[in-house]
């Protein structure tokens, strides 16, 4: 019999991060997954980061996670998005070598004490509303906590035109018995779908007619932990476009698409539309952009990002061959749609432990999200909280104003989802506080207190913060100048000497010409400049946060019966009953819950408290 502190089911991005967090918390962990060799597999496009997502990855990085390191071990093209906008909304996107990424993850895991089992989990050991471990064909694996991270595999069905096959990912099985078990446990389940494009041989493309998009130089790092010193060789991506002929073929055949034939009941993400969706819904657009992303170094394969589809193979072939530079290309694998089970994430507390079964956590795509980063973040949260609970330590919950991870978990657990959930910066109402570049300032000392990052890294961080404070004091506050160069490259003279910091606050200044800096100082300078520009907004946000903090943190007793609160509309009662928000703050986030309704809830809690006192 095998016994562990934590059993993690699934070796995807959520599972890996969860197991690694448990390991770093000093506990024993079992990782049970279909195939060892596919641990850390990127099911879809081979890229990490992007808007809202790199923010998450940097947060994982500040807490010592695995994803950012594996990204740098396999990154083949780095690009910062939104460079013309401010710091809070800039994002790093890294194209990875699919194979190297997976190998990096496996290498890191192999250096830990995590026990990997190559088995299909078919059942859960449930005793009195508590999950005690998992059952595979041949094994019982016990865990004080069990974390399910089965991704798109639960009763996964893949569609190409009218062909349907079982599987969570091409070349993989589907987890059918486990899905059945979750239905048996009466967890609130639903179906979602997503899709992926065909893969094409790079050597059969005419890249010379496409626009080349090289990576950024100097090549940045996703992880700021300093563990990866050397990048892989860097490659370019290419851009091509669909055209009228492409669209004609697609619209002539839309009815043959699995998504349009009515076979799929699951809801797909609106921000990840298939090419047939794009052509159908935005008929006026004559052309759509396609990114040709290399799958890896020395790999004769590309991922044509932008033409995800579930059209029949023949149609896929036809329309792809109309695209500039792809006329002669050879398709190695066809695009498909996958439909899978998910569990309504409102089932979970903010620790990602389910409300209905103790010691049972859900993380990753099973909670209705999509994307590697979103999955990894949940894995980290579930893993840490399982470890904290075992050690009888407090829950680890990040607030919405502290991290994108806080936004993600709160959104999922209080609002639930209506389509596969992906992070966007606009989901974070405190966006200006949450830059990908200040994740360490926000989270590193928290992680250090949890004991999940090495002492050395914390020391480096603390020293750097000291240096920064010193830099601001001596170089920016004390250095005074009499003139500066404005954005029009004219010299502006001042009537008296002013500090660099006060000049940085001016909208017309061209920062690049302000002072001579060495490399290290440049990062500090940029940071200071952002802090100065955001200052007013951030002060306002902070005031707002503090104002609402007390009320927002007020706990709603689980015994609350919304039906009994007179004055709440049926719609509001239904929504609140379904999501069972843990705090007033979460309740007020729910759509349709008015300030008046919040008052009523507060009054009713108050009344309950008074009644208890009097009893």
Ligand X SMILES: Cc1cc2nc3c(=O)[nH]c(=O)nc-3n(C[C@H](O)[C@H](O)[C@H](O)COP(=O)(O)OP(=O)(O)OC[C@H]3O[C@@H](n4cnc5c(N)ncnc54)[C@H](O)[C@@H]3O)c2cc1C
600 binds, among other proteins, ligand X, none (CB under 5 to 8 A by kind): other proteins
Residue matched to tokens 């709160």:
410
Residue 451: strand, helix, or coil: coil
Alpha carbons 285 and 288: distance in angstroms, whole number = 7
Position 71 contacts ligand X (CB under 6 A): no
Instruction: Pick the binder of ligand X from 11, 304, 345, 368 (CB under 6 A).
Output: 11
Alpha carbons 320 and 329: distance in angstroms, whole number = 8
Q: Taking contact as CB under 6 A, which single stretch among the options 8-16, 183-191, 257-265, 508-516 is the one that binds ligand X? A: 8-16
Residue matched to tokens 């890249």:
207
Contacts of residue 520, defined as CB under 8 A and 6 or more positions apart, other chains included, come to none
Q: Report CA torsion sign: 275, 276, 277, 282.
A: positive
Alpha carbons 271 and 261: distance in angstroms, whole number = 21
438 binds, among ligand X, other proteins, none (CB under 5 to 8 A by kind): none
Position 309 contacts ligand X (CB under 6 A): no
Residue 31: strand, helix, or coil: strand
Position 121 contacts ligand X (CB under 6 A): yes
Position 365 contacts ligand X (CB under 6 A): yes
Contacts of residue 140, defined as CB under 8 A and 6 or more positions apart, other chains included, come to 1, 2, 125, 133, 134
Closest to other proteins by CB, 469 or 610: 610
Instruction: Pick the binder of ligand X from 4, 8, 12, 70 (CB under 6 A).
Output: 12
Nearest to 377 by CA among 345, 352, 405: 405
* Least distance between ligand X and beta carbon 471 (Å): 38
Position 335 contacts ligand X (CB under 6 A): no
* Least distance between ligand X and beta carbon 214 (Å): 24
Q: Taking contact as CB under 6 A, which single stretch among the options 61-69, 277-285, 370-378, 584-592 is the one that binds ligand X? A: 370-378
Nearest to 591 by CA among 606, 605, 566, 574: 574
Alpha carbons 610 and 604: distance in angstroms, whole number = 10
Position 178 contacts ligand X (CB under 6 A): yes
Nearest to 210 by CA among 306, 309, 145: 306
Q: Taking contact as CB under 6 A, which single stretch among the options 5-13, 20-28, 54-62, 210-218 is the one that binds ligand X? A: 5-13
Closest to other proteins by CB, 201 or 427: 427
143 binds, among ligand X, other proteins, none (CB under 5 to 8 A by kind): none
Position 160 contacts ligand X (CB under 6 A): no
Position 194 contacts ligand X (CB under 6 A): yes
Position 182 contacts ligand X (CB under 6 A): no
569 binds, among ligand X, other proteins, none (CB under 5 to 8 A by kind): other proteins
* Least distance between other proteins and beta carbon 217 (Å): 18
* In contact, 211 and 238? CB cutoff 8 Å: yes
Nearest to 471 by CA among 506, 517, 531, 521: 521
Instruction: Pick the binder of ligand X from 77, 90, 146, 196 (CB under 6 A).
Output: 196
As given in the structure block, the two tokens for residue 448 are 């250090």
Position 106 contacts ligand X (CB under 6 A): no
405 binds, among other proteins, ligand X, none (CB under 5 to 8 A by kind): none
* In contact, 266 and 164? CB cutoff 8 Å: no
Closest to other proteins by CB, 289 or 474: 289
From residue 306, how far is each of 212, 245, 251, 334 by CA, in Å?
A: 16, 17, 16, 14
Contacts of residue 409, defined as CB under 8 A and 6 or more positions apart, other chains included, come to 350, 352, 377, 378, 381, 397, 398
Instruction: Pick the binder of ligand X from 370, 501, 529, 586 (CB under 6 A).
Output: 370
7 binds, among ligand X, other proteins, none (CB under 5 to 8 A by kind): none
Closest to ligand X by CB, 325 or 371: 371
The interface with ligand X within residues 416-475 (CB under 6 A) comprises 422
Closest to other proteins by CB, 170 or 272: 272
The interface with ligand X within residues 242-281 (CB under 6 A) comprises 272
* In contact, 55 and 404? CB cutoff 8 Å: yes
**Interface mask toward ligand X for 336-355; x: CB under 6 A:** --x-----------------
Strands (E), 447-544: 480-485, 491-499
Position 310 contacts ligand X (CB under 6 A): no
As given in the structure block, the two tokens for residue 450 are 């949890």
Contacts of residue 134, defined as CB under 8 A and 6 or more positions apart, other chains included, come to 7, 9, 32, 121, 123, 124, 125, 140, 141, 143, 146
Position 181 contacts ligand X (CB under 6 A): no
Which residues of this chain interact with other proteins, rule CB under 8 A?
Answer: 45, 50-52, 81-82, 85-89, 93, 269-273, 278, 281-282, 285, 288-289, 291, 305-306, 308, 424-427, 429, 431-432, 487, 507-508, 533-534, 537, 540, 566-567, 569, 588, 591-596, 599-600
215 binds, among other proteins, ligand X, none (CB under 5 to 8 A by kind): none
In the complex, the residues that contact ligand X under the rule CB under 6 A are: 9-15, 32-34, 38, 43-44, 120-121, 149-153, 169, 175, 178, 194-196, 272, 338, 364-365, 370-372, 375, 422
């Amino acid at each position: 019999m095998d016994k562990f502190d934590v059993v993690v089911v699934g070796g995807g991005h959520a599972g890996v991060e969860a197991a690694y967090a448990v390991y770093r918390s000093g506990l024993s962990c079992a990782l049970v997954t279909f195939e060892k060799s596919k641990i850390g597999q990127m099911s879809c496009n081979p890229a990490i980061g992007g808007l809202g997502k790199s923010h998450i990855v940097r947060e994982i990085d500040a807490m010592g996670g695995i994803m950012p390191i594996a990204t740098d071990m396999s990154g083949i093209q780095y690009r910062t998005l939104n460079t013309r906008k401010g710091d809070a909304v800039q994002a790093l996107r890294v194209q990875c070598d699919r194979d190297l990424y997976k190998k990096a993850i496996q290498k890191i895991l192999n250096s830990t004490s995590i026990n990997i089992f190559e088995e299909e989990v078919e059942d859960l050991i449930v005793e009195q509303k508590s999950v005690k471990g998992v059952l595979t064909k041949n094994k019982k694996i016990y865990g004080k906590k069990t974390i399910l991270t089965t991704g798109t595999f639960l009763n996964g069905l893949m569609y190409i035109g009218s062909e349907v096959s079982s599987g969570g990912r091409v070349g993989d099985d589907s987890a059918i018995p486990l899905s059945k078990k979750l239905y048996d446990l009466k967890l609130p389940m639903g179906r979602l779908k997503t899709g992926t494009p065909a893969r094409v041989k790079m050597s059969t493309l005419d890249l010379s007619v496409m626009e080349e998009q090289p990576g950024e130089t100097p090549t940045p790092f996703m992880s700021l932990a300093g563990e990866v010193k050397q990048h892989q060789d860097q490659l370019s991506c290419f851009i091509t476009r669909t055209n009228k002929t492409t669209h004609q073929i697609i619209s002539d055949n839309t009815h043959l698409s699995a998504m349009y034939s009515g076979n799929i009941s699951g809801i797909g993400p609106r921000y990840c539309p298939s090419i047939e969706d794009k052509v159908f819904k935005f008929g006026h657009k004559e052309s759509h952009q396609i990114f040709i992303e290399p799958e890896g170094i020395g790999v004769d394969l590309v991922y044509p990002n932008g033409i995800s589809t579930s059209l029949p193979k023949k149609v896929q072939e036809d329309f792809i061959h109309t695209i500039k530079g792809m006329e002669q290309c050879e398709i190695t694998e066809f695009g498909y749609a996958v439909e899978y089970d998910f569990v309504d994430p409102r089932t979970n507390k903010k620790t990602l432990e389910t409300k209905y079964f103790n010691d049972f956590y859900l993380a990753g795509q099973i909670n209705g999200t999509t994307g590697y980063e979103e999955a990894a973040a949940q894995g980290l949260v579930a893993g840490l909280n399982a470890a904290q609970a075992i050690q009888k330590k407090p829950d680890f919950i990040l607030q919405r104003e502290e991290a994108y991870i806080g936004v993600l978990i709160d959104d999922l657990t209080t609002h639930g989802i209506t389509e596969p959930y992906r992070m966007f910066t606009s989901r974070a109402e405190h966006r200006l506080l949450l830059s990908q570049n200040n994740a360490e300032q926000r989270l590193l000392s928290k992680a250090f207190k949890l004991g999940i990052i090495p002492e050395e890294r914390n020391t480096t961080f603390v020293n750097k913060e000291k240096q920064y404070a010193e830099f601001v004091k001596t170089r920016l506050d004390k250095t005074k100048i009499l003139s500066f160069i404005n954005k029009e490259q004219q010299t502006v003279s001042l009537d008296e000497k002013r500090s660099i910091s006060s000049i940085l606050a001016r909208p017309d200044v061209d920062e690049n010409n302000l002072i001579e800096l060495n490399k290290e100082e440049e990062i500090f300078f940029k940071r200071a400049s952002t802090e100065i520009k955001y200052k007013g907004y951030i002060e306002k946000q902070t005031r707002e946060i503090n104002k609402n903090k007390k009320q927002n943190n007020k706990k709603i007793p689980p015994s609350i019966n919304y039906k009994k609160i007179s004055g709440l509309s049926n719609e509001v009662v239904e929504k609140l009953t379904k999501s069972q928000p843990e705090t007033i703050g979460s309740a007020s986030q729910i759509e349709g819950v008015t300030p008046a309704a919040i008052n009523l809830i507060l009054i009713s809690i108050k009344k309950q408290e008074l009644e208890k006192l009097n009893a």
